[in-house]
Structure 1
Amino acid sequence: MNSTYANNANKVWQEMIKDHSGEWGMDIHHWDWVPGVGVIAMLEYYEATRHSEVMAYLQEWVKLNSEKAKGTKVINSIAPYAIFPALYRATNDEWFRDEAVRVAEWLIKETPRTREDAFEHTVTENVAFAEQVWADTIFMAVLFLARTASLVGNITYAEEALKQVLIHLRVLQDDETNVLFHGWNCASGDHMSAARWTRANAWIAAGIPLIVEEIKQLVVIPDELQERYGRLMSGLLAYQQEDGLWSTVMDQPHFDREVSGSAGIAYGLLKGMEQGLIPRREETAASVERVFTSIFPYITEEGVVNGVSGGTPVMPTIQAYQDDIPTYPTLYGQGLVLMLFAKVLQMEMVKHG
């Protein structure tokens, strides 16, 4: 096992579980998408390493925080539930399975939808984005639905997950560059500021192969999904900067580099090849290696991942993504980097038996 990846992964994880009370980006003890991405990544780390302390932490985290989920039924607050199917398999505690089914039923039957039948992106903050489709939804909610479909063998859940993936790709993918816009406004019929935001692309680059892995035994994966995903990943590679990372808005090379989005895209490249969604190519592996080389300097000795932009709605202008969004450590930044490291560790373990 490569000690560099193993050591850095452990440092990043250890930093995530420290007491960061009062820090929006790093406080893991609430119920929303930020800690949700964190625990999803920790599960990936556990599945790559089988470190028992990681699984023990996830179970304890749910015990400490599940009460905070009550009354918070929005797309972004679904993210933490994505670990419930795995926790059920690990513990045989039926509460995890029953909660997963309960939340999946809410998604299927009650969550607000746009006129295209996409899940409307809803958030815990007191703000609404009526009739808006955001790339984030795929990772924050559809991944959970796919995992629950696999857990209970529910074809309806799997079909809905597949439908949501296809709708999001159809309305967000730019036919000219093949990458994704951050959002789509169904009412006005446009992409609003039309930002090709890197982390939006990362949510879908990483999310789709994870979803396909869960539902492919229940539904046929159509050619359209593979074709669109392949075009997306090729388009993303065209925007990788010489230093190995992507800018906050990828077609603005003078913008700051964005580590979380870059890690998520690199993870998607590896997972996409693993799932057969994109071809295995040496040049793709070389692009991922460049991401590693560039990310390491952003990780402090304590395991803090720097170079991560803050929580980002669809901004009114492209320049606002650079000027109005601060950069600071976050659980999703830690998490996407941890997922990337975990995937490499897992691949090495498979290779060396």
Structure 2
Amino acid sequence: MTRIRKQACDEAAGRIAALMLKGQPGDWGMDIESWDWNPGVGIIAILEYYECTQKPEVLSEIIKWTERNRYQSDNHKVINAMAPFTIYPRLYELTGNQYYLNKAIEVGDWMLTEAPKTREGAFEHTVTEPEAFSEQVWADTIFMGVLFLARLARVTANKKVGEEALCQLQLHFKLLQDEKTGVLFHGWDCGKSNHMSAARWGRANAWIALATPMILQELQGMLNVPELLIESYHRLLRGLKTYQAENGLWPVVVNRPDYRYEMSGSVGIASSFLKAANQGWVDDGYREAADLTLEQLLVSVDENGHVGGVSGGTPVLPSEEAYNDFDIRPTQYGQGLALFLLNEYLIS
């Protein structure tokens, strides 16, 4: 990467992170002062941004965020609200504050012993909204809850927790991967034994594509990773690469080139390509594919740090066509996924 390009990434990442930490109270998309998946994705990305830059003021802001918001953490014991806890194991290592470790262990125990599971044994996707998705498995769960378990396993050297994280990752690949294309469906209904609308939604693919190398890196040296899981991941990346448009983006439903392009799924997928390349799992063709996405991201970030082209929150929709009818809005998760991509370039 040229010095000029790295500087552009650094400047864009700084604007994005600053806007995320500032937030916009009252705006669901950009409000960081809550305990749910949306700000959770944001704060996970900001912690990684700190790891890449070692800027002490960023870590200070993260710690302040936990102090302001941790009183909310017991309000919602659902999978989607596990996301913010993902930073706790690392914060314990960085600060030595026993609170972070104790709370992480408490949350991990709840996930292993009380969190609802489907008949297949996968975590049921539960949310903070007054909605129930009984017996449903969503791709989102891997990033929102299973990544936390992997980090907790590493910090505590608890193989049981690590085995659960690995088991969940395997189950989600088994239930969601399209055998024909290698890419993932958004959800699976264990009761009805179908993929519901059977949409191969871009951001669903991004959640698992990005979380998988992060999870396996945490479990490295603790557990043996099944070859089938590695092959499933490679099939996912190969499938996604075939659907990338010439402009570097992916349609909101990855196998529908007639649909609109969507930024958060695209940068999440590109981030997974770079993480896999940086860990030596894939060839440089994936790095080149991510470079194309980066070009689109850099021109989509405005002077205030807003990432453009991000679709709103998306449950499993009733039809494939419904995914193409999305609103565009700045969100903490959209900002976060963009920041993950820029972080990879900052450490390259």
Deviation at 1:256, TM superposition (A): 1.6
Q: Which residue of 1 aligns with 2:307?
A: 305
Q: Give yes or no for the alignment of 1:32 onto 2:36.
A: yes
Q: Answer yes or no: is the 8 Å Cα contact 2:139–2:205 preserved in 1.
A: yes
Measured in 1, the distance between the counterparts of 2:16 and 2:153 equals: 31
One-letter code of the match for 2:86? A
CA shift digits 1:310-333 (9 cap, x unpaired): 10000000111112x311000000
Q: Secondary structure at the match of 1:184?
A: strand
1:83 to 77, 87, 102: 87
Q: Answer yes or no: is the 8 Å Cα contact 2:277–2:284 preserved in 1.
A: no
One-letter code of the match for 1:247? P
CA shift digits 1:1-29 (9 cap, x unpaired): 62111000001111112240110010000
Measured in 2, the distance between the counterparts of 1:304 and 1:166 equals: 35
Q: Which residue of 1 aligns with 2:10?
A: 6
Measured in 2, the distance between the counterparts of 1:233 and 1:123 equals: 28
Q: Give yes or no for the alignment of 1:183 onto 2:187.
A: yes
Runs (4 or more) in structure 1 with deviation over 3 Å come to: none
More moved, 186-195 vs 282-291: 282-291
Q: Give yes or no for the alignment of 1:142 onto 2:152.
A: no
Q: Which residue of 1 aligns with 2:51?
A: 47
One-letter code of the match for 1:206? L
CA 1:185–1:306: 2 relative to 1, 3 Å: same
Measured in 1, the distance between the counterparts of 2:159 and 2:30 equals: 36
More moved, 254-263 vs 39-48: 254-263
Measured in 1, the distance between the counterparts of 2:50 and 2:261 equals: 29
Deviation at 1:247, TM superposition (A): 0.7
Q: Answer yes or no: is the 8 Å Cα contact 2:188–2:194 preserved in 1.
A: yes
Q: Which residue of 2 aligns with 1:284?
A: 286
Q: Which residue of 2 aligns with 1:223?
A: 227
Equivalent residue runs for 1:190-205 within 5 Å: 190-205=194-209
Q: Give yes or no for the alignment of 1:271 onto 2:272.
A: no
Gaps of 5+ in 2: none
Q: Answer yes or no: is the 8 Å Cα contact 2:277–2:286 preserved in 1.
A: no
Deviation at 1:123, TM superposition (A): 0.2
Q: Secondary structure at the match of 1:17?
A: helix
Q: Answer yes or no: is the 8 Å Cα contact 2:183–2:200 preserved in 1.
A: yes
- State the number of aligned residues: 344
One-letter code of the match for 2:317? M
Deviation at 1:69, TM superposition (A): 1.3
Q: Answer yes or no: is the 8 Å Cα contact 2:277–2:287 preserved in 1.
A: no
Q: Answer yes or no: is the 8 Å Cα contact 2:249–2:293 preserved in 1.
A: yes
Q: Which residue of 2 aligns with 1:329?
A: 330
Q: Secondary structure at the match of 2:8?
A: helix
Q: Which residue of 2 aligns with 1:350?
A: none
Measured in 1, the distance between the counterparts of 2:214 and 2:110 equals: 22
What is the TM-score of this pair, normalised by structure 2?
0.97
One-letter code of the match for 1:335? G
Measured in 2, the distance between the counterparts of 1:159 and 1:275 equals: 22
1:259 to 259, 263, 268: 263
CA shift digits 1:256-309 (9 cap, x unpaired): 211111111111111122334x32x23211101100111122111111001001
CA shift digits 1:27-57 (9 cap, x unpaired): 0000000000000000110010101111001
One-letter code of the match for 1:313? P
CA shift digits 1:214-263 (9 cap, x unpaired): 11221101101110000000000001011110011111212221111111
Q: Give yes or no for the alignment of 1:315 onto 2:317.
A: yes
Q: Which residue of 1 aligns with 2:347?
A: 346
One-letter code of the match for 1:43? L
Q: Which residue of 1 aligns with 2:132?
A: 128
CA shift digits 1:155-186 (9 cap, x unpaired): 00000000000000000000011000000000
One-letter code of the match for 2:24? H
Q: Which residue of 2 aligns with 1:351?
A: none
Measured in 2, the distance between the counterparts of 1:284 and 1:45 equals: 22
Cα RMSD after superposing both structures: 0.9
Deviation at 1:114, TM superposition (A): 0.4
One-letter code of the match for 2:168? Q
1:115 to 98, 119, 122: 119
Gaps of 5+ in 1: 348-353
Equivalent residue runs for 1:56-95 within 5 Å: 56-95=60-99
Q: Secondary structure at the match of 1:133?
A: strand
Q: Which residue of 1 aligns with 2:295?
A: 293
Measured in 1, the distance between the counterparts of 2:317 and 2:181 equals: 20
